[in-house]
Structure 1
Amino acid sequence: MRFAVLGSGSRGNGTLVESNGTYVLVDCGFSLRETERRLTRLGVSARQLSAILVTHEHADHVHGVGLLSRHYNLPVYLSGGTLRGMRKPVEAAGVLMGGQRLQVGNLGIDVVSVNHDALEPTQFVFNDGQRRFGLLTDLGSCCPNVLQHYRGLDALMIEANHCRDMLARGPYPAFLKRRVGGATGHLNNHQAASLVSELGWQGLQHLVLAHLSSKNNLPSLARQCFVETLGCDPDWLELADQDSGLDWRHIAWPNYLASGAHHGKT
């Protein structure tokens, strides 16, 4: 299994997961031309996609979903609430519910309900029978449901959206600061790092920080918070960028891993 990021942030999101020829795109917040360009950068044609999954209806996640799905005749899977919230209607191949397991080709996908200010937001955990990759962005707080599904992963991409101090001092109006920092907003650096600590991170091959705010966070602050909380090697942490995304990251079979893999500080 492997995963890559087309881009991550308030100006557009998209994550690609592949296993044995099955390509699933999670969210598409870019125009059709830009999506095609970013897929090409990863060595993939949109014609190779097996499906599009949608986490929630906010524009930075769905802007290009309808046109991409129609242009390439791709099935779209999303929750009923997300479908109702779409400003540009799409035809759903399947309506998802939290706790459901979806099978798309060689990928099993667990649908996880999360706390976010959308109608019925979801996140996803991918499984190819041997390896598990968790995608966890756009939630303001953790619940037992998240803890249950995101333990024992081989790789995790989690949002570290904002620094609490930068948000408090930043340019957003008061109502937007409350929304972003609230229980249905976005995880800040400390919340995200504490959640990863609670989930257990020593078995992760990859830990990717995503959805960083361009106005209320800095990559250096996010990285520092995770290093201080987890005690991990800063060079091991990875960040998904808004413009350049993240190139393919391969998740090895567990029995291929070298014994004694070490992510601690050196």
Structure 2
Amino acid sequence: MRYCSLGSGSKGNGTLIEQGNTRLLVDCGFSLRSTEQRLRQAGIGGDQLTAILVTHEHSDHIQGVAKLARRFDLPVYLTPGTGYALRQEGLDLRWIDLHSPLLIGDLEVSPVAVPHDAREPCQFVFDNGRERLGVLTDTGSITPWIVEQYARLDALFLEANYDPHMLAYGPYPGFLKARVGGELGHLSNQQAASLLGMIDLEQLQHIAVAHISEKNNRPELARDALTDALAGWSGELLLAEQNQGLPWQTISGLSHHHCAQSGSR
């Protein structure tokens, strides 16, 4: 299994997950032109996509979904709550039940309910039978359910959206500061780090730090906060950026089998 980011942040999000001939695009918050350009940079044509999955209806995640889906005749998987924003004619909408995993091509996709100020938001864990990739952004707080669902992963695409000090003294108006920093907003660097303290890191090969705010955070602050929580961890800490995204990262099955052999699972 491999994954890459087409871009991550408040100006647009899109994450590609590939297993065999199955290629899933999680969210599409860019114009159609920009999306096609970003897909090309990743070496993928829109006609090679299997489906689009949508986490929630905010424009930085959904702006390009309908146009891309229409253009390449793609099914769109989303919760009924999120579907309110995409009730346009001619789309093949497939409802996600937050309590049931989906099988899409070669991947089992488990939707995970998260606290965020949207109608029925979710994030996803992808499983190919050997490796598990977790995608977790746009989450206001870490719940016990999140800890349970993301406990044993081989790779994690994780939001570290803001630094509390920068948010408090930054340019956002009060209501927006309260929204971002609230229980239904985004994860701070420290909240992201706290999740890492609650899950098993042993087979985790990469952590990609995502959805870093351009106004209320700096990549080095996010990296430093997470590094403190990763003492003794031997994996790779990566950055998914707004403009460059993140190039393809391959998850190898080695760590999983190694852990199984050493009896630690």
Identity of aligned residues (%): 49
CA drift of 1:89 comes to: 6.7
- Which residue number in structure 2 is paired with residue 43 of structure 1? 43
CA drift of 1:255 comes to: 6.0
- Which residue number in structure 2 is paired with residue 55 of structure 1? 55
- Which residue number in structure 2 is paired with residue 155 of structure 1? 155
Counterparts of 1:237 and 1:45, CA distance in 2: 28
- Which residue number in structure 2 is paired with residue 188 of structure 1? 188
- Which residue number in structure 2 is paired with residue 210 of structure 1? 210
- Which residue number in structure 2 is paired with residue 263 of structure 1? none
Counterparts of 2:255 and 2:192, CA distance in 1: 29
Which segment is superposed worse, 229-238 or 63-72?
229-238
Give the secondary structure class of the aligned counterpart of 1:94: strand
- Opposite residue 134 of structure 2, the aligned amino acid is G
- Opposite residue 102 of structure 1, the aligned amino acid is L
Conserved? CA contact 1:66–1:89, under 8 Å: no
CA drift of 1:254 comes to: 2.9
- Which residue number in structure 1 is paired with residue 120 of structure 2? 120
Which segment is superposed worse, 21-30 or 81-90?
81-90
Give the secondary structure class of the aligned counterpart of 2:117: coil
Pair 1:94 & 2:83 matched: no
Pair 1:85–1:232, CA change in 2 (3 A): farther
Counterparts of 2:235 and 2:252, CA distance in 1: 19
Q: What whole-Å deviation, never above 9, does each CA across 1:168-222 have from its counterpart, x for those lacking one?
A: 0001111111100000000000000111111122321110100000000000100
Give the secondary structure class of the aligned counterpart of 1:9: coil
- Opposite residue 210 of structure 1, the aligned amino acid is A
- Which residue number in structure 2 is paired with residue 65 of structure 1? 65
Conserved? CA contact 1:8–1:245, under 8 Å: yes
Counterparts of 1:44 and 1:174, CA distance in 2: 41
Pair 1:183–1:20, CA change in 2 (3 A): same
Pair 1:141 & 2:146 matched: no
Q: What is the root-mean-square deviation in Å for CA atoms of aligned residues?
A: 1.9
Q: Runs of 5+ in structure 2 lacking a partner?
A: 260-265
Pair 1:234–1:155, CA change in 2 (3 A): closer
- In the alignment of these two chains, the number of paired residues is 259
Q: What whole-Å deviation, never above 9, does each CA across 1:207-242 have from its counterpart, x for those lacking one?
A: 010000000000010011111222257993101010
> What is the TM-score when the length of structure 1 is the normalising length?
0.93
> What is the TM-score when the length of structure 2 is the normalising length?
0.93
Give the secondary structure class of the aligned counterpart of 1:252: coil
CA drift of 1:257 comes to: 7.3
Matches within 5 A, 1:10-21: 10-21=10-21
- Opposite residue 16 of structure 1, the aligned amino acid is L
Counterparts of 1:74 and 1:244, CA distance in 2: 25
Matches within 5 A, 1:163-202: 163-202=163-202
- Opposite residue 96 of structure 1, the aligned amino acid is I
- Which residue number in structure 2 is paired with residue 75 of structure 1? 75
Q: Runs of 5+ in structure 1 lacking a partner?
A: 260-266
Give the secondary structure class of the aligned counterpart of 2:51: strand
Conserved? CA contact 2:66–2:86, under 8 Å: no
- Opposite residue 217 of structure 1, the aligned amino acid is N
Give the secondary structure class of the aligned counterpart of 1:177: helix
CA drift of 1:164 comes to: 0.5
Conserved? CA contact 1:114–1:121, under 8 Å: yes
Conserved? CA contact 1:140–1:186, under 8 Å: yes
